[in-house]
Structure 1
Amino acid sequence: MQESKLKNYLLLHLIVFIWGFTAILGALINLDAIPLVWYRMSLAVIFIVLYFIFRKKSFKVDKKGLVKFFVTGVVIALHWVFFFKAIKVSNVSVALVTMSTGAFFGALIEPVFFRRRIKSLEIVLGLVVIFGLYIIFNFESQYQLGIFYALISSFLSALFAVLNGLFIKKYTAEIISLYQLFFGVLCITIYLLVTNSFSVAFFNISTSDWMYLLLLSSICTAYAFIASVQVMKYISPYTVMLTVNLEPIYAIILALFIFGDKEKMNPEFYFGAFIVLFVVLLNGIIKNKTVIRNKLKEKAVRKK
């Protein structure tokens, strides 16, 4: 049992490392954001379909589910487009630190869908995060557009996560992922057709870019998703939450090694980044303690 837990914990770190590497690949691939997302989602759909066939899983889903997955497929597609746009116009470090604000966008969006009050603590922590971003924005003015794109991406990511929190109660994670990716790439395909963006140049991709795209769509998208679902069966949500917060740290360290001077920032950036990441981590710890406290209370009530 202990050996299995350790194995899955190490696998979780590998998954988080892979997620962080996604941003690195986005910077390495010589494609604009929209074509990059189109290739990523298209290839990921193929890999997940192959997974379904191999595992003999059913593709069936009800009509209401298809409508839900269509809407969220568009959301996830836009999320990735703005995410890679942020990397292209700034760098990996700026994009990922700004993306860490997703937890606080989620804190504002979640009450709307789950019909609960916004907690004052979440507002306070959110304001501290804004202060951290202000420091970055003020001292790294050349990356303002990248920060703006990353904030949009972060908001869409939070919206996507909250909606999936509703869907997971009825549908499997594999079904949700497959149809969201499919509808996302379908919408991008329609956009590319309408704007006459499909051309010989669109499909003229270098060998290195093909290698990076295959790695991005298979390992960083299809595999990481399926593996993350599997890991959560053995590891507590608290451990998962703490580990996932290491993603921007892994990615920033990787980016410094791979891109060198392009990723070196002013000391003020790292101060602002520390504030953002620390508050995100603190928020996760506080929320987890609240969940544990509520569960203990429920158990105590049941015993009575």
Structure 2
Amino acid sequence: MEDHGEPRDYLKLHFLVFLWGFTGVLGELIDLPSVELVFYRCLLASVTLSVILRHKLRVPIGRAVAMFATGGIIGLHWVLFFLAVKIANVSVCMVGAATISLWTALLEPVMVPGRVLKRMDLAFGALVIAAVAIIFQSEMQYAVGFLVAIAAAIAAAVFSIINGAFAKHTPHRVIAWYELTGACVFCALCLPISARWLSEGRGLDLVPGPMDWVWLVVLAEVCTVYAYSEYVSLLKRLSVFTTNFANNLEPVYGIILGGLILGDYHHLGAGFYLGAALIAVLVLAHTRMSRRKRLTIG
């Protein structure tokens, strides 16, 4: 799919990426294990969309099942994302997430019939990996967290490619409801695993504190109901690779917000600024090249 977006679509995309950059900070602020955190995020978001949509959720049964199942992949992505935050830190999680563009470039030709591997996309993705390596060079003590974040990025690439097909036929909020409901059910099934292995000895933890509820509402309503449904809407006009490549600014926003809110300035050395600047330049260059190609074709 080639890009058919207007300038306001690219601006909205980068605003959504900024909001997603805040989710890592919220994951650090919310004192719940990753599975319980994502369970509440998806539950609150699904209920909100149910109220908004009411009787507009009818779709063909095959598509409904496919979107519901895709929600499981989204749930896995978010669980891995917040797990990386918990076992490492916001900075490590965010730089791992930046690899999504490379995984998208590699996986889309495999998953989408007729799609070929574009050398430009692969080259941009590889350059992002180089930028991530520059940022990460002083963080190798968090190798496990980094690998978990990369696994989260692979899951994100897979569901983004799948969503590119859903967005052609189904309203974006309807897609979001089915997928968030599927993610909620996935997390509910994973609660025993969380209680046994992921809760640091706390067992099943389903009782958020007062401030946890505040941050959960922000996470669910602003960073999920609004940001996620608008992201799906943009897939009607922007390519999967363009949207995922813009997501490479998420670690930049996330680490900056982590520094401002959580005081993680000791992670922001020269390597961070060099890598972050390289990512920003690459995102802007790719966006400009994509738009120029669209105008040439049009």
TM-score bracket relative to the smaller structure: 0.7 to 0.9
Does structure 1 residue 51 correspond to structure 2 residue 52?
A: yes
Does structure 1 residue 283 correspond to structure 2 residue 295?
A: no
Specify every segment of 5 or more residues in structure 1 that has no aligned partner in the other structure, as ranges.
296-304
Q: Deviations over 1:33-64 (max 9, x none)?
A: 111111111111111101113xxx41212121
1:114 offset after TM fit, Å? 4.1
| Correspondence for 2:65 | 67
Q: 1:135 to 1:231 in 2, by over 3 A?
A: closer
Q: Is the contact made by 1:41 and 1:184 (CA closer than 8 Å) also made in structure 2?
A: yes
Of residues 183-192 and 220-229 in structure 1, the stretch that sits farther from structure 2 once superposed is: 220-229
1:228 offset after TM fit, Å? 5.3
> How high is the sequence identity, in percent, across the aligned residues?
34
Q: Deviations over 1:137-193 (max 9, x none)?
A: 432112222221111111111111111111111211111110111112112212325
1:97 offset after TM fit, Å? 2.9
TM-score by length of 2: 0.82
| Correspondence for 1:85 | 83
- Select the structure of larger CA radius of gyration: 1
1:8 offset after TM fit, Å? 8.9
1:30-179 to 2 correspondences below 5 Å: 30-53=31-54, 57-112=55-110, 113-179=112-178
Aligned-partner residue type, residue 147 of structure 1: F
Q: Deviations over 1:7-55 (max 9, x none)?
A: 99987665443322222111110111111111111111111101113xx
1:282 offset after TM fit, Å? 2.7
Q: 1:94 to 1:278 in 2, by over 3 A?
A: farther
Aligned-partner residue type, residue 172 of structure 1: P
| Correspondence for 1:190 | 189
TM-score by length of 1: 0.80
SS of the counterpart of 2:137?
A: helix
1:194 offset after TM fit, Å? 7.4
Of residues 194-203 and 114-123 in structure 1, the stretch that sits farther from structure 2 once superposed is: 194-203
Q: Is the contact made by 1:140 and 1:266 (CA closer than 8 Å) also made in structure 2?
A: no
Specify every segment of 5 or more residues in structure 2 that has no aligned partner in the other structure, as ranges.
1-5
The number of equivalent residue pairs is 285
CA distance in 2, matches of 1:9, 1:290: 15
Q: Larger % of helix: which? A: 1
Q: Deviations over 1:52-94 (max 9, x none)?
A: 13xxx41212121122113311110011011111212222233
CA distance in 2, matches of 1:125, 1:12: 19
Aligned-residue CA RMSD (Å)? 3.3
Of residues 275-284 and 241-250 in structure 1, the stretch that sits farther from structure 2 once superposed is: 241-250
Q: 1:128 to 1:49 in 2, by over 3 A?
A: same
| Correspondence for 2:3 | none
| Correspondence for 1:251 | 254
Aligned-partner residue type, residue 165 of structure 1: G
Q: Is the contact made by 2:84 and 2:149 (CA closer than 8 Å) also made in structure 1?
A: yes
1:253 offset after TM fit, Å? 2.3
